[in-house]
C-alpha cells in the first residue's frame, strides 16, 4: 500500500476535516545519477557548469527565432511548429520558424533538431539513441535536439512541459501559463524514456497521435501515430493480437484444411478453436503469409516516408480450445505448459525470417492457457512475449502477496525471454463498468518492477472514454510513469490535481483518493478485471457519504469556474454512478445499523440526475454528434434501470427478527448476470417486488435442457481458487408452486467469494462484503428465495413456460 505523503499546511486543513490519514507505506526511491544512467531514466543533468542564459520573450514580444534543421524530418518539422505555437500562447509574441539553410536570422535562436549549429557546439544528434533528447543553452541560444525517430519532438515537448509549464491533460484539455517575459538559465538536460514501448489502448483523441506524442507514448492503440508526430512502434497486419483466425479464417480454410485446426475430443474443430501448431503444411503456409505482410507493409512505408512496422503478431484466438493432437500434446507435456507448442511454432517462424528481415520481431501472447512459461524451450531473440495480467488485483502492486501468481509468471518469462512485454488491464469489464477503484498508487511500483526484470514494453488496455474511473488522471499518471517510473509520485499527483482541478479543488480530490485507498485497505477488499460494485466492499455507506461530502466541498470551491467545475464533476462521476447502482445495498446497510440520522443513504434521484448530466456533458466534449446520441441513450438507460427499482427494500420477513448487523440481503439488482440472459423483472409474487428471471424458452438461453433438477449452486473464492458446493435443490425438496426459501448450507466467507447459481453459473452474487476481518471464522447460513415454473418442474400450472426465478440471496450469521 502507498498513500500520499504528508500534506502541506494547505492540504492538512482539508485532510483533517475528514479525518483522512496521510501516510506512505512504501517510500520512494531517490536514485543516484549513475543509477539513473544505468537504467536510462528520463531526465539527467549533464553536469556541465554554464552561465548561459536565453531570453525567449520580453513583455509579450518574441526575442528569438525558431530554426529547424535543413533536413528536418516530418516530426522534426512538427517539433518546430509546436514550439513556436506554444511559445506564442505562453508569451503573447509571434515566433517565426525558419529553415537553417535559408535562415537569415542574426539574433538569438532556438535550434530544433540536428542543426549545424548544434553539431558545431558539441551536440551531435547522430550520437543520440532513438527517442533520446537533449536540452542545452549555448550562449544566448537554445538547442532542442534528439535521436531519430521522435527524439527532437520529445525534446520540444519536454521543454514545453517541464521548463515552460505547459500541460496536456487529455486530448481535449490543456493548461498554458501566461508569461509575457520568458527567460531560461543554465539549461543542460539529457534523457530518454525508461520503458521503450509505451502504449495505451485507447486515448480516443482522434488527433493522429498528437496527444500521445506530447506525452511521450510511442503507440496509440489502434489509432496509430502519424509520421508528423513521430510515427509509432507499430504492429504490422493483420492485427496486433488474436491473429490465428485472421491469418486463416475458418470459413475460407476449414473445409479444405480441417487438419490445420485444433483436434478436440478426437475431432477437428474449425470454429471457435485454435490452430494445430505442429502441422508442417500449416507452418509453411503461415510463414508465406507472414513474409508477404512484411514485404508489402515495408514497401508502403517507404512510399509514405514513414517507419515500417517492425512487429508482427502471431497469437492465439481469444478463447481456449487448444489442439489435443498427439504431436501438440507431446510438446505441451514435455514443457509442462501449453505455451510449449505455441513457442515451438513461433520459433519456427522467427527462424524463417531472421536472416532476410533482421529488423522484424514476432510477437505472441502468454495468455490464459499459455500464461505459464515452458520448462525448456526459449523464445528466439527476434520473438517478443506479451504476458497478459488477467488475474491480478489491480489495487495492489505486483510485489504484493495477492499478486504472487502473476509475479512468478513474469519472473519465469523474464528468465528465458530476451524481449518481454506486459499487457495490463486498467478497467473492469463487469457491468456497470467504471466503479471507483484505487489503482494509480500501484503504477510506479509496477513499472519499476517491470524495468528491473527485463520488461521492455507495457500495453495497457483502458477503454471507456467517459466512464473509466478517473480516466484523465489515471491516463496522465500512466504516461508520466511509463516515461519515468522513478519520478516523484506525490509530485505528479499534486501537479495533475492542482493543475487540472485547480488548487482549491485539487487538495480535495487528493483527500478523496487517499480516503478511497484507505477504505480499500481497511476492508481488505479484493478486485480483478471482472469486479462488480457488489464485490468492492469499500463502497459502503460510511465511505460513500464521506466521499460525497468531499466532492460537495470540491464543487463549491470551483463553482464560479465552469471549466474546473466540469472537470470536478467528471472525477465525481464514478462515485455518483456507484452511489446509484449500490443504493439498495446502502439502504440495507443503513437498516442494519438501525436507520441512524448519520450516515444516511444519499438521495438516489438527485445523484442519478447529476451523473446523467455529467455523462452527457462529457460526451459533448469528447465525441461526435452520432456518438453523443448513443451515449445519451446509454446514460438514460442505466439511470432508468436503477431508479425504476425500489430505493428501499426491507429485509425478508423470515429474517427480520435477527439481531441488527447479522443479516446480509442480496436482492436481484445486486447480481451479476452473464450477458444479460437473465433479466431483472417486476414480480408481484416476489417479496421485494422484483426478481431475476431465467426464461428457459428464450432463444438466448443456450443449452436450456441442462437447467434441470437437481439444481447445483454454491460458492467460489476467486483469490483462493476454492469451490464450495451447496446442497442441490431436488424435485422432492420443492414444497409447492411459487417462491420458497432454499438453504444452500453453512459456510465461512472470505474476501473475493461469490455465490453462483446453476451448472452455467449464469447468475453470480458477490458476498464478500459479509466478511469481517475482526471475525474471520464467522460462519453464515446461505438462503435463496427461488420460484420454479413450467412443465419440467414440480407443481407446474398448465399455462406456464419453463422458467426459474431467483429473487434474492441472504446470508445470516450463525450464532
**Which pLDDT value is given to residue 685?**
97
Q: Are 696 and 793 in contact (CB under 8 A)?
A: no
Taking the complete model, does pTM exceed 0.75, yes or no? yes
Residue 598 belongs to domain spanning: 506-643
Q: Are 75 and 229 in contact (CB under 8 A)?
A: yes
Q: Which three cell numbers stand for residue 493?
A: 499527483
What SS3 state is found at 681?
Answer: strand
303: in domain: yes
CATH number at residue 59: 3.30.379.10
1: in domain: no
**Which pLDDT value is given to residue 394?**
97
Domain termination residue (choose one: 583, 612, 643) = 643
CA distance 301 to 309: 8
DSSP, res 202: -
Residue 27 pLDDT more than 90? no
- Identify which of 34-43, 472-481, 577-586 has the greatest average pLDDT: 472-481
Residues 202, 154 share a domain: no
CA distance 151 to 737: 74
Residues 679, 548 share a domain: no
**Which pLDDT value is given to residue 14?**
32
Residues 76, 184 share a domain: yes
Percent of the chain scored above 70 by pLDDT?
93
Q: Which of 51-60, 237-246, 388-397, 718-727 has the lowest mean pLDDT?
A: 51-60
Q: Are 95 and 65 in contact (CB under 8 A)?
A: yes
Residues 434, 538 share a domain: no
**Which pLDDT value is given to residue 404?**
97
Residues 691, 573 share a domain: no
DSSP, res 261: B
277: in domain: no
CA distance 742 to 735: 10
**Which pLDDT value is given to residue 263?**
98
Residues 700, 624 share a domain: no
pLDDT in tens, 463-509: 999 999 999 999 999 999 999 999 999 999 999 999 999 999 999 99
Chain centroid, CA 489 distance in Å: 19
Which has more confidence, 414 or 773? 414
255: in domain: no
Residues 475, 379 share a domain: yes
Residue 11 pLDDT more than 70? no
294: in domain: yes
Residue 36 pLDDT more than 50? no
Residue 40 pLDDT more than 80? no
CA distance 647 to 445: 41
pLDDT in tens, 687-713: 999 999 999 999 999 999 999 999 999
pLDDT in tens, 198-212: 999 999 999 999 999
Query: Of 590, 577, 607, whose CA–CA distance to 540 is shortest?
Result: 590
Residue 51 pLDDT more than 60? no
Residue 807 pLDDT more than 70? yes
Residues 561, 521 share a domain: yes
**Which pLDDT value is given to residue 57?**
98
**Which pLDDT value is given to residue 104?**
64
User: Is the Cα torsion angle 13, 15, 18, 19 positive or negative in sign?
Assistant: negative
**What's the mean pLDDT in 551-567?**
99
778: in domain: yes
**What's the mean pLDDT in 315-325?**
97
Residue 648 pLDDT more than 90? no
pLDDT in tens, 583-642: 988 998 898 888 898 889 999 999 999 999 999 999 999 999 999 999 999 999 999 999
CATH number at residue 359: 3.20.20
Residues 607, 479 share a domain: no
Instruction: Tell me the DSSP string of 354-376.
Output: TTT-TT-EEEEEE-GGG-SPPSS
Residues 206, 179 share a domain: no
**Which pLDDT value is given to residue 105?**
61
Ranges assigned E (strand) in 402-545 = 419-425, 455-461
Residue 19 pLDDT more than 60? no
**Which pLDDT value is given to residue 588?**
86
Which has more confidence, 260 or 20? 260
- C-alpha distance from residue 19 to each of 438, 514, 515, 547 (Å): 19, 11, 9, 12
Residue 32 pLDDT more than 70? no
Percent of the chain scored above 90 by pLDDT?
84
**Which pLDDT value is given to residue 44?**
45
Q: Which three cell numbers stand for residue 138?
A: 549555448
**Which pLDDT value is given to residue 52?**
67
Instruction: Tell me the DSSP string of 358-422.
Output: TT-EEEEEE-GGG-SPPSS----TTEEEEEE--S--TTS-TTSGGGHHHHHHHHHHHTT-SEEEE
Residue 23 pLDDT more than 60? no
Residues 292, 182 share a domain: no
CA distance 348 to 338: 16
Q: Are 156 and 459 in contact (CB under 8 A)?
A: no
Cell 479464417 maps to which residue?
Answer: 249
251: in domain: no
Write down the mean pLDDT value for the chain.
Answer: 92
**Which pLDDT value is given to residue 473?**
99
Residue 8 pLDDT more than 70? no
**Which pLDDT value is given to residue 307?**
78
**What's the mean pLDDT in 143-155?**
98
Residue 12 pLDDT more than 80? no
CA distance 748 to 777: 6
Q: Which three cell numbers stand for residue 408?
A: 512468478
CA distance 185 to 340: 57
556: in domain: yes
**Which pLDDT value is given to residue 675?**
82
User: Is the Cα torsion angle 239, 241, 247, 249 positive or negative in sign?
Assistant: negative
Total domains in the fold of the chain:
4
At residue 362 the predicted structure's pLDDT band, cuts being 50, 70 and 90, is: very high
Residues 609, 529 share a domain: yes
Amino acid at each position: 500500500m502507498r498513500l500520499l505523503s504528508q500534506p502541506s499546511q494547505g492540504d492538512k486543513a482539508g485532510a483533517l476535516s475528514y479525518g483522512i490519514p496521510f501516510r506512505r507505506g512504501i517510500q520512494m526511491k531517490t536514485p543516484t545519477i549513475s543509477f539513473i544512467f544505468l537504467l536510462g531514466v528520463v531526465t539527467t543533468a549533464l553536469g556541465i557548469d554554464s552561465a548561459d542564459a536565453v531570453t525567449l520573450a520580453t513583455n509579450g514580444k518574441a526575442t528569438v527565432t525558431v530554426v529547424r534543421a535543413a533536413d528536418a524530418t516530418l516530426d522534426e518539422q512538427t517539433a518546430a511548429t509546436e514550439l513556436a505555437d506554444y511559445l506564442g500562447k505562453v508569451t503573447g509574441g509571434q515566433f517565426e520558424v525558419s529553415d537553417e539553410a535559408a535562415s537569415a536570422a542574426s539574433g538569438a535562436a532556438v535550434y530544433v533538431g540536428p542543426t549545424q549549429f548544434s553539431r558545431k557546439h558539441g551536440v551531435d544528434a547522430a550520437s543520440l539513441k532513438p527517442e533520446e533528447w537533449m536540452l542545452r543553452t549555448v550562449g544566448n541560444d537554445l538547442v532542442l535536439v534528439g535521436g531519430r525517430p521522435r527524439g527532437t519532438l520529445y525534446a520540444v515537448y519536454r521543454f514545453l512541459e517541464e521548463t515552460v509549464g505547459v500541460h496536456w491533460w487529455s486530448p481535449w484539455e490543456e493548461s498554458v501559463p501566461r508569461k509575457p517575459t520568458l527567460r531560461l538559465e543554465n539549461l543542460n538536460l539529457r534523457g530518454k524514456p525508461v520503458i521503450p514501448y509505451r502504449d495505451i489502448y485507447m486515448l480516443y483523441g482522434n488527433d493522429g497521435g498528437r496527444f500521445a506524442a506530447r506525452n511521450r507514448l510511442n503507440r496509440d492503440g489502434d489509432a496509430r501515430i502519424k509520421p508528423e508526430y513521430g510515427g509509432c512502434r507499430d504492429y504490422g497486419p493483420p492485427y496486433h493480437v488474436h491473429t490465428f483466425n485472421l491469418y486463416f479464417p475458418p470459413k475460407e480454410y476449414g473445409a479444405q484444411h480441417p487438419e490445420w485446426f485444433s483436434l478436440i475430443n478426437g475431432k477437428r474443430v474449425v470454429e471457435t478453436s485454435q490452430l494445430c501448431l505442429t502441422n508442417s503444411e500449416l507452418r509453411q503456409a503461415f510463414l508465406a503469409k507472414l513474409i508477404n505482410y512484411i514485404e508489402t507493409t515495408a514497401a508502403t512505408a517507404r512510399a509514405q516516408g514513414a517507419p515500417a512496422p517492425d512487429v508482427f503478431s502471431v497469437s492465439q484466438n481469444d478463447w481456449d480450445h487448444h489442439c489435443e493432437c498427439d504431436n501438440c500434446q507431446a510438446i505441451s507435456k514435455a514443457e509442462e505448459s501449453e505455451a510449449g507448442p505455441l513457442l515451438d511454432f513461433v520459433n519456427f517462424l522467427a527462424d524463417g525470417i531472421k536472416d532476410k528481415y533482421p529488423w522484424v520481431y514476432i510477437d505472441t501472447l502468454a495468455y490464459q492457457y499459455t500464461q505459464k512459461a515452458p520448462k525448456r524451450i526459449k523464445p528466439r531473440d527476434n520473438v517478443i512475449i506479451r504476458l497478459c495480467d488477467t488475474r491480478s488485483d489491480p489495487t495492489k502492486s505486483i510485489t504484493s502477496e495477492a499478486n504472487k501468481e502473476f509475479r512468478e509468471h513474469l519472473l519465469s518469462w523474464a528468465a528465458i525471454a530476451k524481449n518481454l512485454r506486459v499487457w495490463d488491464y486498467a478497467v473492469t469489464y463487469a457491468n456497470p463498468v467504471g466503479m471507483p477503484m484505487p489503482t494509480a498508487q500501484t503504477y510506479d511500483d509496477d513499472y519499476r518492477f517491470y524495468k528491473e526484470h527485463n520488461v521492455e514494453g507495457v500495453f495497457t488496455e483502458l477503454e471507456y472514454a467517459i466512464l473509466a474511473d478517473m480516466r484523465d488522471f489515471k491516463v496522465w499518471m500512466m504516461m508520466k510513469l511509463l516515461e519515468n517510473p522513478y519520478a516523484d509520485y506525490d509530485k505528479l499527483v499534486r501537479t495533475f490535481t492542482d493543475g487540472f482541478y485547480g488548487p482549491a479543488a485539487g487538495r480535495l480530490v487528493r483527500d478523496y483518493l487517499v480516503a478511497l485507498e484507505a477504505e480499500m485497505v481497511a476492508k481488505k477488499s479484493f478486485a480483478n478485471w471482472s469486479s462488480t460494485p457488489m464485490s468492492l466492499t469499500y463502497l459502503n455507506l460510511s465511505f460513500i457519504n464521506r466521499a460525497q461530502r468531499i466532492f460537495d466541498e470540491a464543487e463549491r470551491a470551483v463553482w464560479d469556474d465552469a471549466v474546473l467545475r466540469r472537470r470536478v464533476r467528471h472525477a465525481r462521476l464514478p462515485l455518483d454512478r456507484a452511489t446509484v447502482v449500490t443504493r439498495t445495498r446502502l439502504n440495507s446497510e443503513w437498516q442494519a445499523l438501525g436507520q441512524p440520522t448519520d450516515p444516511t443513504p444519499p438521495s438516489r434521484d438527485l445523484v442519478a440526475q447529476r451523473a446523467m448530466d455529467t455523462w452527457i456533458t462529457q460526451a459533448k466534449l469528447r465525441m461526435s454528434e452520432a456518438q453523443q446520441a448513443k451515449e445519451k441513450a446509454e446514460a438514460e438507460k442505466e439511470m432508468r434501470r436503477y431508479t425504476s427499482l425500489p430505493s428501499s427494500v426491507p429485509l425478508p420477513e423470515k429474517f427480520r427478527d435477527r439481531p441488527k448487523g447479522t443479516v446480509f440481503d442480496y436482492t436481484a439488482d445486486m447480481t451479476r448476470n452473464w450477458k444479460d440472459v437473465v433479466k431483472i423483472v417486476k414480480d408481484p409474487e416476489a417479496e421485494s417486488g422484483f426478481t431475476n428471471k431465467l426464461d428457459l424458452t428464450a432463444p438466448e438461453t443456450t443449452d436450456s435442457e441442462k437447467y434441470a433438477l437437481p439444481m447445483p449452486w454454491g460458492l467460489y473464492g476467486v483469490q483462493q481458487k476454492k469451490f464450495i458446493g451447496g446442497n442441490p435443490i431436488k424435485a422432492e425438496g420443492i414444497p409447492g408452486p411459487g417462491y420458497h426459501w432454499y438453504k444452500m448450507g453453512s459456510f465461512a466467507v472470505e474476501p473475493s467469494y461469490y455465490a453462483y447459481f446453476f451448472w452455467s453459473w449464469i447468475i453470480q452474487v458477490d458476498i464478500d462484503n459479509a466478511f469481517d476481518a475482526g471475525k474471520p471464522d464467522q460462519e453464515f447460513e446461505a438462503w435463496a428465495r427461488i420460484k420454479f415454473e413450467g412443465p419440467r418442474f414440480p407443481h407446474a400450472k398448465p399455462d406456464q413456460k419453463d422458467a426459474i426465478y431467483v429473487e434474492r440471496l441472504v446470508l445470516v450469521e450463525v450464532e
